[in-house]
Structures are given as structure tokens and as C-alpha cells.
Amino acid sequence: DRGNYEIFIFIIIYFFITNFLKKKYLNSYFFLGFSILLKPTPAVFFIILLHYKKYKEAAFILISVVIITGLSYASLQGGLSINLRQHLTNLGLYNDLYAIGDAGLMYGNSLWGMGKSLVKSFYGDHINSVDLNLYLKIYTLLTFISFFFFTFLCLSLMFFL
């Protein structure tokens, strides 16, 4: 059951790219917006829209994502305010347990998890006593690696479009 969510996002991004290549722009914008609704990472593909000077379309996608997200929170029991507050609380718990702590370390597949596993291999069970600055340095390095990978991917796509 791990990673299934990302598979859907990759499929939706595939539809975005194929529709964009076929110049079916309205369809492609729908798929890009939908993938961003599921996870913010596909927003990196805005580079393509900005490259082709599609500023209104990019703004429309962003505004749509914000409105649909707000409506989703508002439609749940408790309304917008309570659900947004609860989501932010849960994100804080996730950061404490998974991002900073080592809960679920053996089940992850992220670059951050790989970095924490490297630290754990050197420090053993004393991973929680490791200085937070070391974690942040590893995180920064891995973030730059992933950023440059996605940037390279987008630039490569622009040359082929």
C-alpha cells in the first residue's frame, strides 16, 4: 500500500504532458491542477507554463487549486476553520514523529528518509540525540538534489515540446 498515491499523480502528470504536447491546453491545465490538488510537488511543472508565457492560465490553475482546497475543507464536518486547524495540527504531528523523529523510518521511500537512514547507520539507536543541524544539512543537500533533478526534467521537456 506504500506509494500508490504517487502512482496516481504520475499518471495524471502523464495526461498533463500528453495533452500539452497535443496542444489541448484546457485539458492539460485541468490535469496539472488536479495533480497539484493531490500533492503540491507537481507545481514544478509551472515552469513549462511560464516558459510559454501562459501567465493567465497559471494564475487560473493556482486560484482554482486554492478555491477547491478551501471548499474541500469547508464541506467536511466542522467547516473550513476547524478542518484547516486540524490539518495543520496533524502536519505538525507528522513533522515531529516522521520528519524529525524516526517513526516509520524503515517504511519510507523519500530522500529525507534515506538521509535519516544514513545518519542512523553512523549513530545507531542514538538517532534522536543527533544534533538537528546535521539533519538540516542533510535535508538541504537532498532538497537541492531533488530540485535540480526536477528542474532538469522540466527543462528537458521544454526542449522537446
- pLDDT of res. 75: 94
Q: How far apart, in whole angstroms, are the C-alpha atoms of residue 33 and residue 3?
A: 20
Most confidently modeled of 18-22, 40-44, 107-111, 150-154?
A: 18-22
- pLDDT of res. 140: 77
Is 9's pLDDT higher than 60? yes
Would you call 46 exposed, middle or buried from its count of C-beta atoms within 10 A (0-12, 13-18, 19+)? Answer: middle
For 2, the grid coordinates are 506504500
Q: How confident is the model at residue 5 (pLDDT cuts 50, 70, 90)?
A: confident
pTM of the model: 0.60
Q: Note the pLDDT tens digit of each residue in 57-106.
A: 888 888 888 998 899 999 999 999 999 999 999 988 887 887 777 777 66
% pLDDT > 70, the chain: 83
**Mean pLDDT of the region 46-61:** 86
Q: How confident is the model at residue 1 (pLDDT cuts 50, 70, 90)?
A: very low
Q: How far apart, in whole angstroms, are the C-alpha atoms of residue 18 and residue 131?
A: 46
Q: How far apart, in whole angstroms, are the C-alpha atoms of residue 153 and residue 141?
A: 18
Q: How far apart, in whole angstroms, are the C-alpha atoms of residue 52 and residue 25?
A: 12
- Phi and psi based region of residue 101 (left: phi greater than 0; alpha: psi -120 to 50; beta: remaining): beta
Q: How confident is the model at residue 141 (pLDDT cuts 50, 70, 90)?
A: confident
For 145, the grid coordinates are 538534489
Provide φ and ψ at 52, rounded to 5°. -90, 15
